[in-house]
Amino acid sequence: ILAPTVHGSHARRVYMLAVVVAAAGFAARARTLTPESSRWPQPHTLARRRQLQVAMLEEEAGPSLPSIPTVLYTALGATAVYGLSEKVPRLLSDGPSEALAPLALDVFFFGFACVSLAKGMGLIGKIDYAALDGRDVGSLAKEAGAWAAAGEVPTQSPDGFEVATFAGGCFWGTELHFQRIPGVVATCVGYTQGGVPAPTYEQVCSGTTGHTEALQLLFDPSECSYESLCAKLLSTVDPTARNRVGNDRGTQYRHGIYSHTPEQAEAARRALELEQAKQSAPVVTEMLPARVFYPAENYHQRYLQKGGQNAAKNAPEKVRCYG
């Protein structure tokens, strides 16, 4: 992509520097996503492991390395600026020439890098929670947006349904799994357990905000129990894989059960203990109190259903996360 803007020995050096910086950022970020046994002592009890999880989350809440996209966009912008610094004076002194095409490319790449960085920092593209889908289409997004705007962590909806929050990797697939459960009244996807208020998809994808892609839902406990919802979540992930579900890797894809009440916390503990009894490796699914849940952009809501997959109750078809 950068090759058309590289002219002269100085520009080539800038280009190579950008490649080195990008490679260093990639390697550093990869290290942060790799489980290390030295940071995850073998726990003797489930309770002890939960204490370790909380400690690790607090550790990871501090300053983090720039994400790979941030490094790449910065390098792209810097290279474009260098190209412009060479071409604009030449254009002004010599007039229009065959250098117009490379100049236009530099302008394009600089603009693209600036917009991408602004999105990654949440400066543009904020989510309008009031415009999100509502219950009329089976979505909890608009209500969840109102709760998020007020900084609330609800336990019940105004009409008496219980609230639950789970994370299971790519939230498109997680949502469809739970949409199909009888007793689940409404669902929405979003971001939780992070340190940046009202994040956007681009910010969360950077892996630097601390959020995980998650699902919030309303359910009728007379039709489905919270324990059964926990069991469903655990059946859709490898509970022994940290920061990974399927081919999706990163802290934003960690799986977790986030309880809204002490009763939910106790049910989650039992579900994880049952799951641990089936596994030879430690179960690393988070079990933490629910925090403010920020609904995602509207195009993410009921994404797989909109794409043609069956969201009917007890639908037997396989959930295809990118279908």
Catalytic residue among 114, 170, 224, 321: 170
Q: How many domains does the chain have?
A: 2
Residue 109: domain span: 3-120
Last residue of a domain, which of 59, 85, 120?
A: 120
CATH code: domain of residue 265: 3.30.1060.10
Confidence check: pLDDT of 22 > 60: no
Q: Are residues 83 and 102 in contact, defined by beta-carbon separation less than 8 angstroms?
A: yes
**62/208 Cα distance (integer angstroms):** 10
Same domain, 260 and 161: yes
Q: How far is CA 151 from the centre of its chain?
A: 20
Residue 313 lies inside a defined structural domain of this protein: no
**300/17 Cα distance (integer angstroms):** 37
Same domain, 24 and 98: yes
Residue 157 lies inside a defined structural domain of this protein: yes
pLDDT range class, residue 32, cuts 50, 70, 90: very low
pLDDT value for 318: 94
Same domain, 134 and 282: yes
Same domain, 111 and 133: no
Half-sphere exposure of 269 (CA within 13 A, CB side): 14
The predicted-structure confidence for 187-231, as pLDDT tens digits, reads as follows 999 999 999 999 999 889 887 889 999 999 999 999 999 999 999
Residues in the chain: 323
The pTM of the whole model exceeds 0.95: no
pLDDT range class, residue 97, cuts 50, 70, 90: low
Half-sphere exposure of 155 (CA within 13 A, CB side): 8
pLDDT value for 119: 63
Same domain, 102 and 142: no
Residue 135 lies inside a defined structural domain of this protein: yes
Q: Are residues 268 and 164 in contact, defined by beta-carbon separation less than 8 angstroms?
A: no
Strands 294-295 and 184-192: antiparallel
Same domain, 141 and 113: no
Last residue of a domain, which of 102, 120, 138?
A: 120
Same domain, 157 and 298: yes
Residue 25 lies inside a defined structural domain of this protein: yes
Same domain, 146 and 232: yes
Residue 319 lies inside a defined structural domain of this protein: no
Burial class (CB in 10 A: 0-12, 13-18, 19+), 211: buried
The predicted-structure confidence for 40-88, as pLDDT tens digits, reads as follows 333 344 444 444 444 444 444 444 455 566 777 788 788 878 777 877 7
**125/255 Cα distance (integer angstroms):** 26
224 is catalytic: no
pLDDT value for 321: 81
Same domain, 274 and 197: yes
